[in-house]
Structures are given as C-alpha cells and as structure tokens.
Amino acid sequence: MKLNRFKIYGFFGSITLIYFTLLSKLFFHNSRLIRFPIVIRGKAYIDLGEMLTTGVGCRLEAFPSIFNLKTLRFGDNVQINDYVHITAMSSVIIGNNVLMASKIYISDCSHGYYDGKSNDSIPDTHPIDREYKTAPVRIEDNVWIGESVSILPGVTVGENSIIGANSVVTKNIPANCIAVGNPARVIKKYNFETKIWEKRTDLI
C-alpha cells in the first residue's frame, strides 16, 4: 500500500520535504533524501553510497589516519533518522539496507587506552591530548538499529540483526540476532527452519 505523503507530512511538511529533495539532488546527487541541517566533516573521505536518506541534525565525520582512504562508507539504500552521529578514523562500514532510528552514536575511535596494559592512558592528562585508540566498526546488511543506541570501536553487527533501543554495543553481535541492554547481549536468534525468533541464553 502506497503512503499518502501529504497526509503524513501535512502542507508545510510536504513543502519542506520538496525543498530538501531539491537540495539533495543539487548537493548529494546519489542520495535519495538529505534533510538539513547536516554536518559533514572530511567529506572527501566519506562514501555515501546510493539512495541514502537522513533525518535532520545528522553529523558524519571522517578523520583518516591515512589520507586518501574512504574511512566512512555507506552501502546502498541506507536510512538514518534524526541526530545520528558517526565518526570514523580507521574504518566504519555501513552495509546495504541498514535502518537506523534517531540519536544513535557510532564510532571507531576513543580518547585514550584503558585496557589494563602498559600503554594505558594517564588519568591526569587532558582527555583531548590522549592518543586515539581506533578499531574498525562494521554494520552488515539489513541491520536495524533502535533509538539512542551506541556502537563502540571494534564491533561488528552481523547481517539481519536488530539492536534494541538504548543499547550500548561493546562486543560483536552475530547475524540474525536480537541484542539489547548495556552492555548489549543477545536475547534471540532467528531459526530459519522453524521461522521463529527463538530465545537464546548460550550467546549471552
């Protein structure tokens, strides 16, 4: 069933949508719809893929440690909603057909090392002066990320998985799973034989 966009957005909302569509075609040729304002830092190192849709207030940043690399890469048909913040220094890859809600934070870097090893950062140094720790992030195809999720450095979210609202993802999430919590834990996995999302405790 086709949605009547005028009924959804109203008169002024529809005019705004048309305005954003025109701006998108002017400045972001391959995107479906970019809603403004949007902040893009290091645009030369970002690949927005094909048919990207964004909400308002998004912030996309690429600060590569090795120049001439696309450190933030989107697949095709990605949709991110309002106030999504993604930062890439090493590598952040977003797969095809990924859907993100609003107020999501994804980063492959952090200020300092806190692993209990000899290179740990000293706490009385200014946080902004501490050496960056980077580890690649990968969001695979068909992933759905809920409201206010944080995905931290070194994480892979497997294809077809769902991350519940307000989760903090600190470790890899396998494919075809639902993960929730802080830190995020797998609570269900889809069984393709029974066609049911089954509760799992062995993956927690």
Task: Provide CB contacts within 8 A for 165, sequence distance 6+.
Answer: 101, 146, 147, 148, 149
Residue 126 catalytic?
yes
Residue 58's φ and ψ, nearest 5 degrees, are -75, 155
Instruction: Identify the active-site residue in 29, 85, 111, 126.
Output: 126
The Cβ of residue 152 has, within 10 Å, a number of other Cβ atoms equal to: 19
Paired strand residues for 179: 163, 186
From the list 69, 68, 74, the residue with the least C-alpha distance to 86 is 74
The Cβ of residue 9 has, within 10 Å, a number of other Cβ atoms equal to: 15
Catalytic residues: 126
